[in-house]
Amino acid sequence: MTRFRALALLPLMAVLSGCNLVVMSPSGDVASQQANLITISTLLMLLIIIPVMVLTVLFAWRYRQSNSTAQYDPDWDHSTQLELVIWAAPLLIIICLGALTWMATHLLDPYRPLDRIAAGRPVPADTKMLDVNVVALDWKWLFIYPEYGIATVNEVAAPVDRPIRFNITSSTVMNSFYIPALAGQIYAMAGMETKLHAVINEPGSYKGFSANYSGAGFSHMRFTFHGLAADGFDKWVADIKAGGGKLDRDGYLQLERPSENEPVRRYGAVDSGLFKAIVGMCVEPGKMCMHDMMAIDAKGGLGLAGIDNVMPLMHDKLSRRGTAVLGPAPVYVAGICSTEELTGRAVESSLGVLNAPADESPISGPISGAGLPRSSITPISAPAPAFGPRLTANP
């Protein structure tokens, strides 16, 4: 396959000899399969393109005005043999391309766990996948390793031949996480979590960046991916832990402020619930998480009582885009109660389900502070609301 790929790319390499063709010569198995798909697709299409280009020149030369020996047949308009060739060849190529694309779409699905680490090398049964939580910030990248309790900025590493699962989100606008030598790109979106499975097969340092424009500092939104041997990765983790420093929620709120050309940062410890709070858009103190809000909405919402349940943003990271110039001050929906304790009832905030004890009937209808006794509400510690009184239960 490498030989065919080189042959197909000879014309392009002659023109772009000074460029780094990492996309077609990657070091990760997923990116390598994608490169093979590009090569095969190009070769299949050349089966039509090259004959057409050759025949165009041949016909122009053979039937030129000065060639008096060429047969002249002005009444000819149909040939069954030519029709079969003209239609059958492209149809067969389209069928092949469709089959390849359909298979690759499923086999290279970024959400699909890897079943091999290289060609002819299935993932060993005892291999543990490496989880890396990725956060696209303005304009830098944050990487959190939940298994090791560390975090880095603009630097990420993984052991060679160990499957990686990237859990990707964004703090603000949409970005695109892309390491050309490792795998394809996938979007990072605020309030959502996308995934990318990949593996690196060769040690080395590789470039990563955002492939989706996200503002003034976009061109500097780059990072380095290190492919390390197993012992080298363990040493990298140990060095970060030995370096100290902790990334907590307050530190994250400072880190997510827009900045450019950020140097590599390392944190020997990280808040265990930070990534979940980033995805839930509730890192700020007192802010209601999206999964809690959806649980309340699933039960009917807070009704009119929830209109005033807002608080001012303690950190307006979007002020550069003019949100604080016109209109009211930016606010967010505040948390109203603890989802772990509600008058003896256990609340599963991720599902919005209230489970009543055996001697009581389950709560039906909407989850509303106004519909529960005051003793059931456990207010959180947060600033006063921006508009109107704080939402409380009726006495």
Q: Are residues 275 and 128 in the same domain?
A: yes
State whether 236 and 132 are in the same domain: yes
**Residue-level pLDDT at 323:** 53
- Give the tens place of pLDDT for each residue, 336-352: 754 443 333 333 433 33
Last residue of a domain, one of 280, 297, 320: 280
Q: Are residues 103 and 130 in the same domain?
A: no
Q: Give the model confidence (pLDDT) of 10-27 as tens digits.
A: 344 433 444 568 888 899
- Answer yes or no: are the C-beta atoms of 333 and 309 closer than 8 Å: yes
**pLDDT value at position 315?**
56
Residue 269 lies inside a defined structural domain of this protein: yes
Distance CA 341, CA 353 (A): 13
Question: What range does the domain containing 47 cover?
Answer: 20-64+80-108
Residue 350, in any domain of the structure = no
Q: Is the pLDDT of residue 375 over 70?
A: no
Segment 191-224, tens digit of pLDDT: 999 999 999 999 999 999 999 888 888 899 999 9
Q: Tell me, yes or no, whether 143 and 43 share the same domain.
A: no
> Residue 135 domain-assigned?
yes
Output the pLDDT for position 288.
86
Q: Are residues 90 and 144 in the same domain?
A: no
Kindly state whether residue 197 falls inside one of the protein's structural domains.
yes
Whether residue 313 is predicted with pLDDT greater than 80 in this model: the reply is no
Task: Look at residue 4 and tell me whether its pLDDT is greater than 90.
Answer: no
Supply the pLDDT for residue 339: 44
Within a domain: 74: no
pLDDT for 102: 92
Q: What is the pTM of this model?
A: 0.74
Alpha carbon distance 116, 31 (integer Å): 13
Domain containing residue 199: CATH number: 2.60.40.420
80-107 vs 29-62: helix crossing angle, rounded to 10: 170
- In the chain, what percentage of residues exceed pLDDT 90? 47
Residues 136 and 204 placed together within one structural domain of the fold: yes
Is 140 found in the same domain as 86?
no
User: Which pLDDT value is given to residue 292?
Assistant: 86
Q: Is residue 92 part of a domain?
A: yes
Question: Is residue 54 domain-shared with residue 167, that is, in the same domain?
Answer: no
- Residue 127 and residue 266 share a domain: yes
194 contacts: CB under 8 Å, gap ≥ 6: 110, 167, 168, 169, 186, 187, 188
Number of domains in the chain: 2
- Identify whether residues 199 and 269 lie together within a single domain: yes
Kindly state whether residues 150 and 255 are assigned to the same domain. Answer: yes
**50-63 mean pLDDT:** 91
Closest CA to 277 of 289, 261, 295: 289
pLDDT of residue 267: 96
Comparing CA positions, the residue from 132, 142, 194 lying closest to residue 171 is 142
Q: What is the pLDDT of residue 235?
A: 96
Statement to judge: residues 96 and 147 lie in one domain = no
Dihedral through CA 328, CA 329, CA 332, CA 334, nearest 10? -100
Position 341 in a domain: no
- 389 within domain boundaries: no
